[in-house]
Structure 1
Amino acid sequence: MNTLLSIEIRNAVLLKMAELLKRDREALIEINKTDLEAYKGDDISMFDRLKVNDAKVDEMIKSVTHLASQEDPVGIERFSFKHENGMQIYNKTASFGTVMIIYESRPDVTVEAAGIAFKSGNKILLKGGKESLHSNLKIVALWHEALQTYGAATSWVEYLQFNRTETQAFLEKPTQKVDLIVPRGGERLIAFVKKHATCPVIISGRGNNFVYVHKEADLDVALNVIVNGKTAKISACNAVDKVLIDANLPDKDKFIETLIAKLKEFNVEILGDAKTSKFEEIKAFDSEDIWYEEFLDYKIVIGEIASNEDTIAKINKYSGGHSSSIITKNDTEAELFMANVDTAAVYHNASTRFTDGGQLGLGGELAISTDKLHQRGPIGLQHLVTNKWYVHGNGQIR
């Protein structure tokens, strides 16, 4: 176990990393081209996540700089109690120890996840996908340079260049102590980690997010939220896949026609239920199982629903537990929806695309958890800690 570094050193390493990313910006973008050229798959969302350009490097720099400006999440007093026998008792936040993250295709995670883990006093084991290997190794080399600048061990950030068999073996019998594993990727990756891991796992789950257009919706807001949620970034877990439209919405058909036209501008494939598939541009789906699917593609399902209560039940049955939004001018209906929908983030008149550590004020995230223990939604700096009891006495016995 690495000895906790002072907050001054942790912050200095983060700021050095920002400097090095600026210095090697062009080199990193160039190395990333090797990964992009080697990628032979046809998954457009994977390609989008894999690409490093100027905007992505800017985000990486912003992420570590912001982390350096945040309060130390370790050693924060959460509770104190003076025992009747004179003992002074405190409960304080403490690092987990070693965190492993398994992720696909996103070199920016190699910056953001390592930064959050390091700032919160954790050693991080990075297991990236083979498709982003060259980009990831370059970023890890920069982490090591930043750590060495301040005399810190390079083992704080370790890259595991494992294939699937080696990863499985490590999960089942780790060659070093691992306190927490976060798989960040598709459902197959998550199932694989859950099956083989021998230590606690936080699931960074699927999206499959819903927008409900209530009968008292502002229709312009509804159009903007749906189109933004579906088309702004199809590779994001906070993208929209399902739209439920209140059967009693005034001018419902006209609204659906306008929505179809807006989605068609982005070549979105639109599927629908028995009610909505009467529209020429909406194709009837084959199976109700489609309500469970996360698309990560220019594809959406539009259905009709009888009420807010029915919507809540449908979302709770089919969604990935990530994000859901109600569009309505009726605050009471919004409160009912937000209190009863079982997703990590609930929205009223806003896009699900905001479920993101940076957008929710955390400055970035390790992952977005759809678990309820120990953190739900974006896992930020202040969530990558556990706690510890400090008891000070002078010989008390029980």
Structure 2
Amino acid sequence: MKTLLNVETRNAVLLKMAALLDSERAAIIKINKADLDAYDGNDISMYDRLKVDDSKVDDMIASVTHLASQEDPVGVERFAFKHDNGMQVYNKTASFGTVLIIYESRPDVTVEAAGIAFKSGNKILLKGGKESLKSNLKIVDLWHQALKENGVSTDWVEYLQFDRTETQAFLEKPTQKVDLIVPRGGERLIAFVKEHATCPVIISGRGNNFVYVHKEADLQIAMDVIINAKTTKISACNALDKVLIDNKLPNKESFVKNLISKLKEFKVEILGDETLSKYDEVALIPSKNIWSEEFLDYKIVIGEIDSTQDAIAMINTYSGGHSSSIITKNDMEAKTFMANIDNAAVYHNASTRFTDGYQLGLGGELAISTDKLHQRGPIGLQHLVTNKWYIHGNGQIR
């Protein structure tokens, strides 16, 4: 394990990284254009995540600048206790050591996730996808420059230029100590890492998020939330895939027709259960299995449901454990829904698109975990730590 860098040094590296990202902005975007031109896939969400423009560079700069302003997450006292024998006992946060981040297509992860792990006192290993290689290598060069200019070894941020076979071999028998792995990507990547890893893995799981329109919903709020959650960023894991509508909703027919019309404006493909497929623009779902799918596309499934309890059961059966929202004016119904939905984030009258470290007050995130250990939902700076016991005595024996 590397000797922990003091927080002043970590902050100085982060601020230098922010300055370099700004001064090298044009070069980053130009190099990213080469990755975009070489991308031969037709996955629009992958392309969206791969692309770096001025706005994404601004976000990268904001991320590392904000990290530099945050309190040190390492060495925070969580518990103190004086033993009967006079020993003073403390529990404090501690860095993991070395964090491996495996991800697909997103060059911004090379800045934001690496920045969070670095501020938390960890050595960083990065393994990005081949589609973003040029962009990632450019950004890692900037990390190395920021480290060197602050008298810090470039070993703190290392890029693993491995193919799939080499990655599997490294996961099964790492050639250096790895304390934690964070996969960022689709279900196949996550399954691959879980199958082969020999150390703890934080699962940044799939979305497949639901909105339930309760019979006492404000229909304008329901419309705004569904359109926002579905159409603003289809590549996001917090995007909406499924809508459940209470079959006792007043003016249901009018609401459904308006919703279909609005979704069609955004060229969203609409599928529905038996009750919804009577509308010309709605195709019948091929099977119940589709309720489990995350689309990452302009595609949505809408169905009718009998009650809040049925909605809860349906969501807990099919969702990815990420985010769900209830639209209702009835606070008791909302409370029941939120208490019983087994998701990392539950909403009342708001879009699922807010399941995001920055939006939820964390100043950025390493991942959004759908696991329950050790942290659920967005994993921010304060969560990327383990803990350690410190016991001070003067000769006590047991």
TM-score (norm 2): 1.00
Mapped partners of 1:98, 1:375: distance in 2: 18
Partner SS, residue 278 of structure 1? coil
Matched, 1:13 2:13: yes
Q: Which position in structure 2 is the counterpart of 1:300?
A: 300
Partner SS, residue 277 of structure 1? coil
Alpha-carbon deviations, 1:322-351, whole Å to 9, x = none?
000000000000000000000000000000
Partner SS, residue 125 of structure 1? strand
Structure-to-structure mapping, 1:324-339, within 5 angstroms: 324-339=324-339
Mapped partners of 2:396, 2:362: distance in 1: 42
Q: Give 1:97's aligned amino acid.
A: G
Alpha-carbon deviations, 1:332-375, whole Å to 9, x = none?
00000000000000000000000000000101111110000001
Q: Which position in structure 2 is the counterpart of 1:208?
A: 208
Structure-to-structure mapping, 1:80-95, within 5 angstroms: 80-95=80-95
CA-CA distance at 1:258 after TM superposition = 0.4
Matched, 1:385 2:363: no
Q: Which position in structure 2 is the counterpart of 1:171?
A: 171
CA-CA distance at 1:153 after TM superposition = 1.1
Matched, 1:187 2:187: yes
Partner SS, residue 303 of structure 1? strand
Partner SS, residue 256 of structure 1? helix
Q: Which position in structure 2 is the counterpart of 1:309?
A: 309
Q: Give 1:253's aligned amino acid.
A: E
Q: Which position in structure 2 is the counterpart of 1:144?
A: 144
Alpha-carbon deviations, 1:261-285, whole Å to 9, x = none?
1100010000000011111111101
CA-CA distance at 1:147 after TM superposition = 0.6
CA-CA distance at 1:138 after TM superposition = 0.4
Q: Which position in structure 2 is the counterpart of 1:264?
A: 264
Matched, 1:118 2:133: no
Q: Give 1:201's aligned amino acid.
A: V
Mapped partners of 2:343, 2:228: distance in 1: 20
Q: Which position in structure 1 is the counterpart of 2:323?
A: 323
Partner SS, residue 107 of structure 1? coil
Structure-to-structure mapping, 1:96-111, within 5 angstroms: 96-111=96-111
CA-CA distance at 1:2 after TM superposition = 1.4
Mapped partners of 1:397, 1:16: distance in 2: 49
Mapped partners of 1:161, 1:362: distance in 2: 30
CA-CA distance at 1:155 after TM superposition = 0.9
Matched, 1:53 2:42: no
Alpha-carbon deviations, 1:229-254, whole Å to 9, x = none?
00000000000000000010001010
Aligned identity (percent) is 80
Q: Which position in structure 2 is the counterpart of 1:235?
A: 235
Alpha-carbon deviations, 1:106-131, whole Å to 9, x = none?
00000001100000001111100000
Q: Which position in structure 2 is the counterpart of 1:37?
A: 37
Mapped partners of 1:352, 1:370: distance in 2: 14
Mapped partners of 2:156, 2:214: distance in 1: 49
Mapped partners of 2:28, 2:158: distance in 1: 19
TM-score (norm 1): 1.00
Mapped partners of 1:356, 1:157: distance in 2: 25
Alpha-carbon deviations, 1:197-249, whole Å to 9, x = none?
00011100000000000000000000010000000000000000000000100
Alpha-carbon deviations, 1:286-341, whole Å to 9, x = none?
10000000000000000000000000000000000000000000000000000000
CA-CA distance at 1:145 after TM superposition = 0.4
Q: Which position in structure 1 is the counterpart of 2:70?
A: 70
Partner SS, residue 30 of structure 2? helix
Matched, 1:287 2:267: no
Matched, 1:370 2:370: yes
Mapped partners of 1:355, 1:155: distance in 2: 33
Mapped partners of 1:217, 1:282: distance in 2: 23
Partner SS, residue 211 of structure 1? strand
Mapped partners of 1:114, 1:191: distance in 2: 22
Partner SS, residue 304 of structure 2? strand
Structure 1 runs of 4+ with >3 Å offset: none
Matched, 1:341 2:327: no
Mapped partners of 1:369, 1:241: distance in 2: 18
Mapped partners of 2:361, 2:162: distance in 1: 34
Mapped partners of 1:26, 1:13: distance in 2: 21
Matched, 1:197 2:197: yes
Mapped partners of 2:122, 2:338: distance in 1: 34
Mapped partners of 1:222, 1:109: distance in 2: 32
Mapped partners of 2:250, 2:131: distance in 1: 49
Mapped partners of 1:124, 1:321: distance in 2: 28
What are structure 2's unaligned runs of at least 5 residues? Answer: none
Q: Which position in structure 2 is the counterpart of 1:253?
A: 253
Mapped partners of 2:375, 2:159: distance in 1: 25
Q: Which position in structure 1 is the counterpart of 2:274?
A: 274
Mapped partners of 2:237, 2:297: distance in 1: 11
Partner SS, residue 124 of structure 1? strand
Mapped partners of 2:152, 2:360: distance in 1: 31
Partner SS, residue 276 of structure 1? coil
Mapped partners of 2:320, 2:101: distance in 1: 20
Q: Give 1:195's aligned amino acid.
A: E
Mapped partners of 1:225, 1:118: distance in 2: 36
